[in-house]
Amino acid sequence: MITINNLLVQYDEHIVLNYLSASFETGQVHGIVGLNGAGKTTFFNTLGGYQRADAGEIRLSGKKPSRSDFAYLETNSFFYASITGREYLAIFPQSNASFRLDSMNSLLGVPLDELIEHYSTGMKKKLALLSVIKRDKPVYIFDEPFNGLDLESNKVLELIIRNLAAKGKTIFISSHILEPLLQVCQQIHYLDHGTFARSYLQPEFGSISGHLFDLLGKEMEEQIGRAV
Amino acid sequence: MFVLLHIRLIQLRRILAGLGLFYSLLVLSAALLLIIFSYFGYRHAPDSYYLSGGVVLALLHIHLNRKDKVFISRHLAPAWLLMSVEYLAFSLPFTLGMLASDQWYLYPLFVIAVLLLSRLTLSYRSKTRYVFLGRIIPARLYEWIAAGRKTFPLFILLYLASFALCGVKSAPLICLWLINGILCAAFQENESLALLYSRHRHAKTFLRDKIRSYLMIQALLFLPPLLLASFFIPGWIGIHISFWFLQMLLLACTITLKYKSYEPAAPSGSSVLMSIVLLSGIIPFLLPLPALLLAWSYPKALHQLNRYFYDYD
């Protein structure tokens, strides 16, 4: 179980994670949805150890986690200039014994011997994905992994996530599009104003779209009412 | 006409504000020194011609490499004029000396050259070259894979020259100093957190290993030509040892300066200081600067890295 207690993250006066508390079952795929600015990326950054929390604690199976427990695919990965994709991947030590770069790349088709600055957005995303899955970690975080991917790579990513889940890994995914989350997640959590407003289990997925659009619609109406 | 210049001045002001008063004064002193040096350089032909040509070539290089050219030409008009104004303003530390000298008549020619080069719409196109560099340099030293790739022919030519000229007193030292400049310039870009965390869990071991690995590669590169030079000019052994020590200091100082102002995936906030440190290798009264800056910036770099290498609270 991953337990989060009263997590507070703020930038100056602006509170992003508002004493967030939640529990996530390990070995499951958790989808995180929410409007822009709801705090999804900050939540992932804090969970993955990329962002220090101002208060609160995170526990992984009852213990204080280490950054090395997490593999994190960021929304926008940064790549050092003038190095090739293969050189970039070599920077990360391989801990996933079953990872075969050539086999995996035959599915993704990343031009590994080209300079990364020549890559398209989708290619960069796939390269970052390769760097994440070559590491064997108990928890994987994918922030907007489907952004920029073509249809075929979307399918490959879905299969990778299913494969990791089958190995007992805990996976967190966010997406602006609900459809892929419905395909791969066991639970979907709705993040609103820095706290989890609601969680949906798989049997409730049929109604999730309606619920979410109701919630979002109400919020939008309120915002428009305040603005106009 | 002054839109770009205005933006650059805002950027410059922010850089100077970030440096603080002491380093701002140091940067301004360096600019003043350049004006004085260029004044002496422009006093006599043919030095003045070489100097003017050098500045034009440097501007041409900047122009062919700049990435915002398409943006400027699409959204700002007239793009060539805006860029010319920018080039003329930022080359002032080199050209003020020209205007104040007897060779002032070169300035109109210089302006014409700048106006012409600003109209060039060509850009360098980067290609994937020298893939073998990634096989001979360990991946964790990616800064030098990138530096080697960007400057490969020049780099190897300078290195070969340091051997070929080892019978000439200061020639190999100049070549190696230029190589060190290329290697130090590679630290002007900050890596992402994913790269920072790729092999280390603590700031102290990260910084120590980083400096140690780069110093080792530097020693592997620099010692053979220096040993050969000492063989040919035995009286210069002391100078060669001091030179090697100074280059080590310059490199270690550059690395600590980079991490002193480390922000994930952003350009280094210490670029100006790094350039001054590198110049200190050839300006005698600035020689103690790298040692002082290393001692000052090492704990600051550790402190800054600890902001990212924290443990879960």
CATH of the domain at A171: 3.40.50.300
Inter-chain touch A80–B149, beta carbons under 8 Å: no
Q: Which of A198-212, B20-34, B46-60, B111-125 has the lowest mean pLDDT?
A: B20-34
Residue A200 inside a domain? The answer is yes
Inter-chain touch A82–B145, beta carbons under 8 Å: yes
Does the structure show a pLDDT above 80 at B312?
A: no
| DSSP 8-state symbol, A94 | P
Does the structure show a pLDDT above 80 at B272?
A: no
Inter-chain touch A78–B134, beta carbons under 8 Å: no
Token output for A101? 């770069």
Residue A120 inside a domain? The answer is no
Give pLDDT tens digits for B39-68: 888 888 788 888 888 889 989 989 998 888
Contact A119, A127 (CB under 8 A): yes
Does the structure show a pLDDT above 90 at B256?
A: yes
- Considering its fold, how many domains does chain A have in total? 1
CA B149 to chain A, closest CA, distance in angstroms equals 7
Domain limits at A183? 2-79+137-227
Inter-chain touch A83–B146, beta carbons under 8 Å: yes
- Spell out which residues of chain A touch residue B192, defining contact as CB-CB under 8 Å: 74, 77-79
Residue B282 has a pLDDT of 64
Residue A11 inside a domain? The answer is yes
Residue B285 has a pLDDT of 64
Which amino acid appears at position A25 of this protein? E
Which regions in chain A score pLDDT beneath 70? none
Residue A58 inside a domain? The answer is yes
Residue B284 has a pLDDT of 62
Residue A189 inside a domain? The answer is yes
Residue A13 inside a domain? The answer is yes
d(CA B108, CA B262): 43
Inter-chain touch B128–A115, beta carbons under 8 Å: yes
CA A163 to chain B, closest CA, distance in angstroms equals 23
d(CA A103, CA A97): 13
More confident residue, B33 or B237: B237
Select from A6, A4, A42 the least CA-distant residue to A23: A4
